[in-house]
Structure 1
Amino acid sequence: MLPLFLISGAEVPLNSTKPIQHKIVVNHPGEKESVAVILNQNVDENGLPTDYYMDVQSVICLEQVCKVIPVRIFWNNLGEYQRYELENGATLEKYEDAIFDPEDYPKLHSILANIASPFKDVYIDEILTVVDEHGDADAVSGATALELDEEDTVPGAALTCFTLWHWAYGEIVQKIKEITGKSVTEQQLEVFLVDENHTYFDIALIDLERRKNYKTPFINRITERVLEEESLLKSTFYYLEKSPSSIYFSATKEVFVSGGTAQKLATIRSLKSINYKVPTSYLDRLSNDIQKLKTYQEVSFFLDLMQSKNPNSKKVVENVFPLLKADFIKARRTYWFLRNQNLSAEQNEILNSFKRRNKSLL
């Protein structure tokens, strides 16, 4: 293979361990059928995955008139594109048998390195649609109806850019993440959970769920992390919702009580949709913290939860009543919640007094 460092300055890592081959099936938006491919996984001396590579064709050629060149694409162990390589002496082709110019190779690398490339939203039919013979050919993408800025494609090689970009960012990325998660030990998954790169955190959660691992050290580490970083809430709750009920309720209580607005709202949403029967005693205990809810949204969501999962709880009613003295928008929401609860005579009198004072605003 022709090392890409001759083109882009990237270095090719040396690895004396024989690659591990994974036979997988993926879809490519330019192919009508699923494609069986061989994904090669490199590991270090400790057996930890370091990077991956796969040999693909340079273009999807439906008309059998293209020059198809093998291209080797490399990813790191997170499925992030790193570089490409060609066989020694191989050249890529443009429209009408023109070959890539020397400057086109590093440009192709920069296109493949752009996760937000316009090729993300391009269909192969747009590239294969040839303009009318009396019209002007698109100088950027070749004689197609597709219009792209020149910096976003190699002029005359839109099909090659499309093909390789979708190999670099297609289903193979998730496959790599899954293989990385399956390949490491529990100790390494613990390291993933505290890595600054959130992708490692997500990989760890997915594989912990696959292994049905809900051990206390992992749960503690996960809840500690999600209390600090709300961007991890979605993957965290996906994992917790698959855990045994005792672990789920313990962890969600910690996230609710100790977390900020985002953590509290995520907990409430989860509790409203979870298939487990939520104990009323658990919800009663959560209501002890209702005075700590800072925003109207938190209060409203929490009261919705109580109405649907724990109606007419004396403990909840007792804890909610002080909110009638909060700012008016929260107090009004509290009033309408309490109107639907079983109240004592004394509580009814307090609620009616609130109604008389604020009749015009309710």
Structure 2
Amino acid sequence: MRVCVFVKCLIVIILSSAWQFSSFQDTPNSDSYRVTISHPGSIEKGTSIGLRVIKDSNNMPSAYYAVVKSVYCYDEVCKIDPVTIYWNSIGEYLRYELPPDVYLEKYEGEAFVKTDYEKLDRILHDENSPFKDLKIDEITASYSRHIEEGIDAISGATIVDLDESSTIEGSSLTCYTLWHWANGSIKDKIQEITAKNISSNQLLHLLNNSEAYQSFAIKHLTVRKAYGEKIIRQMTAYSSQASKVNLNEFVKYAEGAPDDIYFNMIDALMPKANSKQRVSYLSSLRKTSYSIPNGYYTKLSSQLADYLNYQEVDLLISLIEDKNEINSEVLQNVFLLLDKEILVARRAYYFLINQQLNKEQSKQLNKFYKKNKDYL
């Protein structure tokens, strides 16, 4: 990256800023938004940029783009170029472009080569880049020290070590600046705009897309309190294949429903759920403030014998204890657990010894104790 004299640099900054703002003076019918975002490289509390929307054939947002500064540099003495960054409709980075007459530079004016541009794109696609947790001072402090000590300065040399694959030698400030443009707070702004311009049915269609789109769809269906019959049916069908992240989002969706819909959803989901899903649903039931329908846990207890691990068995038995829904049917279902592996069987045993049992049940429990007393 070339260090330039103050006057020359000032001209570059002014021209870059003019290019940035004039590029959004399009036709009156074009869709554009002026959004204010936070960039960790800027000394300003908020930076206003123009965000343009690209729409699909259904007039829905399909992508966004904005022109941004290529670098927030040490002492503002760097060559600053306009870079256009593209995002998809939920704010995930897609690609970047440069005007035909613009090229990026490393320290001391060395121009990017093809492999540098390709590597920059890979860096911007990495949502878990080390730049995510770095402060710009951790780059500029080392950069300043290298200049003062007369060392062959690398504006990628930071106080913390960066792997060679994580940055471009001589251009870490540019990588840092563009990574935060591509993956920073603008993502939330884009999602807000998309959510305002998309219907609930269109959100449902996103459940057939990637995990990130699914998460976006569930979150905004929850915000909208979209609990129509069709939506509930499709959401319930989707839940069986939800990832761990989206399963949590789905549970939040269910928890936001009216109480009758909430219990009906859990009731419908339980028989087909796997162990991980059952744990999520039972955990939700345990913390709900809704009044439990009569006989609800008695009905759930009939599934106990199909439960695969201790955690889900413990959760349901704890729920039955908490709600004091103990009857002959529940006891009969818990007794079936005595034939399971010892951790599960022990949980059932300590529940049963505190209950009022008939003569036959007491005999059965005593037999279990004699056989397993060394493990209880």
Establish whether TM, by shorter chain, passes 0.5. yes
Indicate the SS of the match to 1:22: strand
- Match 1:226 to one of 211, 235, 239: 239
Q: Bigger shift: 33-42 or 264-273?
A: 33-42
- Match 2:77 to one of 35, 60, 65: 65
Q: Quote how far apart the aligned CAs of 1:255 are.
A: 1.4
Matches for 1:235-250 after TM superposition, within 5 Å: 235-250=249-264
- Match 1:156 to one of 170, 174, 180: 170
Q: Quote how far apart the aligned CAs of 1:352 are.
A: 3.4
Letter in 1 for 2:38: N
How far apart in 2 are the matches of 1:66 and 1:212? 49
Per-residue CA deviations over 1:180-222 (Å, capped at 9, x if unaligned) read 23322233223222x1422222222122122221111111111
Letter in 2 for 1:39: L
Matches for 1:88-103 after TM superposition, within 5 Å: 88-101=100-113, 103=115
Give the % identical residues.
38
Q: Quote how far apart the aligned CAs of 1:81 are.
A: 1.3
Report the equivalent of 2:9: none
Report the equivalent of 1:122: 134
Contact (CA 8 Å) 1:230, 1:262: kept in 2 or not?
no
Matches for 1:85-234 after TM superposition, within 5 Å: 85-101=97-113, 103-130=115-142, 131=145, 133-134=148-149, 136-137=151-152, 139=154, 141=156, 144-193=158-207, 195-231=208-244, 232-234=246-248
Letter in 1 for 2:75: E
Per-residue CA deviations over 1:29-61 (Å, capped at 9, x if unaligned) read 323523333322111232111110122211123
- Match 1:53 to one of 65, 77, 82: 65
Q: Quote how far apart the aligned CAs of 1:267 are.
A: 0.8
Report the equivalent of 1:282: 296
Q: Bigger shift: 344-353 or 59-68?
A: 344-353
The answer as to 2:17 corresponding to 1:31 is: no
Q: Quote how far apart the aligned CAs of 1:344 are.
A: 4.3
The answer as to 2:371 corresponding to 1:357 is: yes
How far apart in 1 are the matches of 2:265 and 2:224? 19
Indicate the SS of the match to 1:209: helix
Q: Which protein, 1 or 2, shows the higher relative CO under an 8 Å CA cutoff with sep ≥ 6?
A: 2
Q: Quote how far apart the aligned CAs of 1:356 are.
A: 3.4
Q: Quote how far apart the aligned CAs of 1:139 are.
A: 4.1
How many residues end up aligned between the 2 structures?
A: 345
| CA spacing shift, 1:102–1:361, aligned 2, 3 Å | closer
How far apart in 2 are the matches of 1:185 and 1:101? 44
Report the equivalent of 1:81: 93
Q: Under a length normalisation based on structure 1, what TM-score does the superposition of the two structures give?
A: 0.85
Give the gaps of 5 or more residues in structure 1.
1-15
Give the gaps of 5 or more residues in structure 2.
1-26
Report the equivalent of 1:3: none
Per-residue CA deviations over 1:251-278 (Å, capped at 9, x if unaligned) read 1111112211122111111111223233
How far apart in 2 are the matches of 1:28 and 1:341? 61
Contact (CA 8 Å) 2:74, 2:140: kept in 1 or not?
no
The answer as to 2:36 corresponding to 1:21 is: no
| CA spacing shift, 1:285–1:123, aligned 2, 3 Å | same
Q: Quote how far apart the aligned CAs of 1:164 are.
A: 0.5
| CA spacing shift, 1:287–1:108, aligned 2, 3 Å | same
How far apart in 2 are the matches of 1:287 and 1:135? 74
| CA spacing shift, 1:308–1:98, aligned 2, 3 Å | same
Report the equivalent of 1:316: 330
Per-residue CA deviations over 1:67-117 (Å, capped at 9, x if unaligned) read 222221101223221211223422333334544345433332232223343
Per-residue CA deviations over 1:228-254 (Å, capped at 9, x if unaligned) read 345431111111111111111111111
Contact (CA 8 Å) 1:75, 1:83: kept in 2 or not?
yes
The answer as to 2:340 corresponding to 1:329 is: no
Contact (CA 8 Å) 2:298, 2:325: kept in 1 or not?
no
Q: Quote how far apart the aligned CAs of 1:345 are.
A: 5.2
RMSD: 2.6
